[in-house]
Structures are given as C-alpha cells and as structure tokens.
Chain A
Amino acid sequence: MTKTTDPITYQRRRLVVATLGVAALSTFGYLRYGSRQTKSISTAGASTSRTNDADARYSQVAVTTKHAATHYNNAYEFGWNKTDPARHAASFHLRPWTVTFDGLVERPGTFDVDQLMGLPFSQLEERIYDFRCVEAWSMVIPYNGRPLAEILKSMQPLSGARYVAFTSLYRPEEMPGQASPFSTLEWPYVEALTIEEAMHPLTFATFGVYGDPELPQNGMPFRITVPWKYGFKSAKFITRISFTADRPPATWHQETPAEYGWYSNVYPDISHPRWSQASERRILGEGQIERIPTRPYNGYGEAVAHLYPGDPQQYW
C-alpha cells in the first residue's frame, strides 16, 4: 500500500495520456477522412472535369451535372456514405450480367443484360426524370433505357401475377456495405411494385445515365426508375425479376416499416417520422442547391394518380 507514487510514474502516465490522445485523434482522422481522401484522388481521373460534354448537351433544361449525380449516391450495398458508391465503383464488375425471370410467367428464363436492352446501348431512349430521394433531396437525371413494360410483356406474365419483385445483386467481395457487420439491412436488397406500377409507361428499365452505361454507383448495369416514388423503390443492380400473387417484401419497408411505406409514393403531406417531405433540396451541381416545394407523386400525378384511388394514406 503506497501512499505516494513517485514522480517517474506520473511522467510515464503523462506519456501514456499524450500517446492515447494522439492515437485517438489519428484513428479518428484516418477512419473519417483518410480512407475517403486517398480513394477520391484515385477516382478523380475517371471524371476529369466537373462539367463535361454530357452536361453541355443538357444546358437547355436544369439537369443535375453528371459529376454531382455520380458522386452523391445512396447505394447501401457499397456503404452508407454517399461518396462510398463512387469510391467502390471502379472495382465493380459490370459483366457478365444476367437477369432471371421467374414466378407466375409463361416464359421464364435467364437473359443477358445486353439482350434485355433490345437495341444497342447508344440507340436506347433517353428520358429526363426528376429523382426524389426519401431523404428530401432531389436531382434531375437523364436515364437511358426502355419502358420496363416492353421487357415484362415479352415474358408473358400469367393472369394471376399481381406483383413484380426485384432482387438486387449479392456480391459482398465487391460491395463492402454487404460485408459490413454494422449494417442492419438484410441482403440482397429486394423491392417490389404492383403489376400495374411495373407496367406503367413511366416505369423505365434503365441501363445507363448521361449516356454512360458504366456507372455502378447509379445502379448499373441494370436498374429500374420509378419517378413518382422515393428513390429506394427504384431497385438497382437487378439480377432477378419475379412475378407473384402475394405482396413481396421490400428491404427498407421490412427494416423500418414505420418510416418507409411499401408503396412509398411521393406525398409532400405525409412526413417521414424524422423529417418533413413538404419540400426538397434540389441538387443541380456540386454545392448548387436550392430548396423547392415537393409535388404529389413527384410531379407525375397526372400520369399515375389513377393507380391510387381513395385515400393516399393507403399508398404512402
């Protein structure tokens, strides 16, 4: 039982305190900024300029710059941070890629993604859609593809098919978010639409954005785009499409049913429990952000409102 500790001990302890302090700070710095910094430099070459040829073509309409739309993405497969998808995109293999069609369908089968396009990529239709994220930000993005209905009809769904379920890729070795022990999401990602929604002419089978098919961060090589719903309803990296009689599960809805509805149509009057959906931050470029009011069905009400008769509360 020593009453006094000798000065040397205190000096050692000071050294311990200082070392721990420096260690804590550098660990924090490395985890938060270090890994992001180095990788963002390595991908910088891929998108040399922030306003490129692709952007010049859309100068007539207020389209989000390609740089912003490809460096600010939610794809939890790659990580929860919005810069994660772009960082991990370079090492992602876009080919070979097949999509399996099954369930209540006359002609099930597995098809190569290039077959699904129907046309060479450069000849695909381009549509500029407003993209509204559930997190109350939005972008205006040119999508390349064809109506999903064309593909679905060629598979000849049976009359009992009331829903269409989409299953995304599971490839944890290239998608670190799927390997993260801290993520509470179940993989693979699944989403679903009613057959009417899936067959709606606005629902777009998407093979590229900004005329570029090689953007995994935007869900390529094959995703769907459903512009009147929150972004997460538009499944990315699709590998399977199933026709079902019963309502299929949807990842975010399953994860937190109180926050993400099964339909997840854009309704400005129905708040997310943690934030208002009445307005959105429209991102047009890096740091170019304006707040605008959100419109019902993200502005596509005229074309889709008839799908949802009665109280919108049923379809949030």
Chain B
Amino acid sequence: MSRLLLHFGCALPGCYLAAGYLQGKLGVDPEKTIIWETGIWAFNLLILVVLLPRAARWARWPMLVQCRRAVGLWAFTYVTGHLLAFITFLLGWDIFRLGEELLKRSYILVGFIAWITLMPLAITSTKRWVQRLGPGWKRLHQGVYIAVVLAAVHYLMTVRSDYAWAGSYAMVVILILALRFAMWRQTRGPAPLSAATRKPATTD
C-alpha cells in the first residue's frame, strides 16, 4: 500500500506535466516549462534519495531505506525525461547538434555527465545486481553523490542573473555533503592515534 503511494507520489509531477501539455495548460511556452519542471523534479528526487538512508538511520526507520530504490529510479526517470525534453524541444532530435552542444556548452555537458553517472546505478538497482556486485555495489552507488553535485553545478550554470533558486539548491547539496562527511568520519572513526584521547562516538 505504502509502496503504491510512493510510486503515485513520484509519478504525480510527471503526470501533471503530461496532462497539462496535452490540454495546453502549461503557459505560453510549454516546451520550456517541461524542460524546467522535469529538471527541478529530477533534482528534488535526487536530493531525497541521498537523504533517505540518513533519515532512516537517524530515526531507525527501515521503511525509508526500502523506498530508496523506487525513488532513485524515479529520479533517473525524470533526469532522462529532462534530457529527452531538451533534445526534442530545443534540438529537434538533431543528433549532430547534440554533439555540438555537448562540446560547446559546458552546462549541457555537466548535465549529460550526471545522466551518464546515474545510468549504471539505475541498471544495477535490481536484487540480482546487488548480490552479484557484493560490497562493490555500495561503492558504485555512492555515484549518486557525484550526480547530485553535478546537478547543482548544472543548475547554477544556467542562471543569468538571479541566484535565488539555483543558489538554494546548491546550499542544500553542500549541507548534504557536509552531513555525508560527518557520517563518514563517524563510521570510520577518528584516526587510530587520536582514538584514545577522543570521546568515543555515541550511537546517534
């Protein structure tokens, strides 16, 4: 039941966009609306997917970890939709121009690399791959941090003069990285020499 609700929630922005597009309710320039909205929801879900395990651990709430795969796949879906919308509406499926844009416009390259980074994570999200890759799976899936940083850079690079939105997202990403770093230090523990002098880490 909760799983169904999760999928419904994640699909909602996309369905809303699709319905709005078909009914002509996305404003004067629906093409740009779709590009912007798929982008922002891809970013939202990417942020959610990196926060889920942190929150699950802190509140000892295993259900959140179970949500991670679905949210991650939805994030990848929105990133892919964002890319497809860009190729459709701004490039008109001119693949040569895609190559040209990737070479010339660094913000497009950065976004594209984020998509490439997420692709193997989406592919290896099945149980079979988790088993097959063993501990490597976890390391591979840390790649989501690379993607979320690239997303922040990509967003900042599109700004012409008002940094309110892109700046806020970049701040969130910086906070997430800080949190991740703090967790990493906690799990690894302090360096062996100073271990004795430092107060042992309390469990949460």
Contacts and interface: CB of A to CB of B under 8 A. Distances in A.
Interface of A: 1-5, 10, 13-14, 16-17, 28, 32, 67-68, 71-72, 76, 79-80, 82-83, 137, 177, 180, 182-185, 255-256, 271, 273-276, 281, 283, 285-287, 289, 291
Given A185-B161, A274-B107, A72 B202 contact: no
Nearest to B100: A276
Contacts, number: 88
Nearest to B59: A13
A105 B138 CA distance: 73
A285 to B, nearest CB: 8
A17 B64 CA distance: 10
A255 B161 contact: yes
B148 to A, nearest CB: 15
Given A5-B203, A289-B29, 15 more contacts: A1-B202, A2-B202, A13-B60, A17-B58, A17-B64, A68-B28, A82-B28, A182-B162, A185-B161, A273-B104, A274-B105, A274-B157, A281-B31, A283-B28, A289-B31
Nearest to B64: A17
Interface string B40-66: 100010000000000100111100100
B97 interface: yes
B31 to A, nearest CB: 6
A3 B101 CA distance: 55
Contact of A16 (B59, B89, B167): B59
Given A271-B104, A276-B101, A182 B28 contact: no
A5 B204 contact: yes
The 7 residue pairs across chains A and B that have the minimum distance between CB atoms: A72-B28, A13-B59, A182-B164, A80-B162, A14-B59, A68-B28, A10-B60
B107 A287 contact: no
Contacts of A17: 55, 58-59, 61, 64
Contact of A76 (B90, B104, B161): B161
Interface of B: 24, 26-31, 40, 44, 55, 58-61, 64, 89-90, 92, 97, 100-101, 104-105, 107, 157-158, 160-164, 167, 200, 202-204
A255 B203 CA distance: 51
A137 B33 CA distance: 14
A257 B64 CA distance: 48
A287 B30 contact: yes
Contacts of A180: 162, 164
Contact of B97 (A14, A256, A276): A276
Nearest to B55: A17
A182 B160 CA distance: 11
Contacts of A2: 202
Nearest to A255: B161
Contacts of B55: 17
11 contacts: A4-B203, A10-B60, A13-B59, A14-B59, A32-B40, A182-B163, A184-B161, A185-B161, A275-B101, A285-B28, A291-B92
A72 B167 CA distance: 24
A80 B30 CA distance: 17
Given A5-B203, A76-B161, A185-B161, A82 B29 contact: yes
B28 A287 contact: yes
Nearest to B166: A182
A28 B161 contact: no
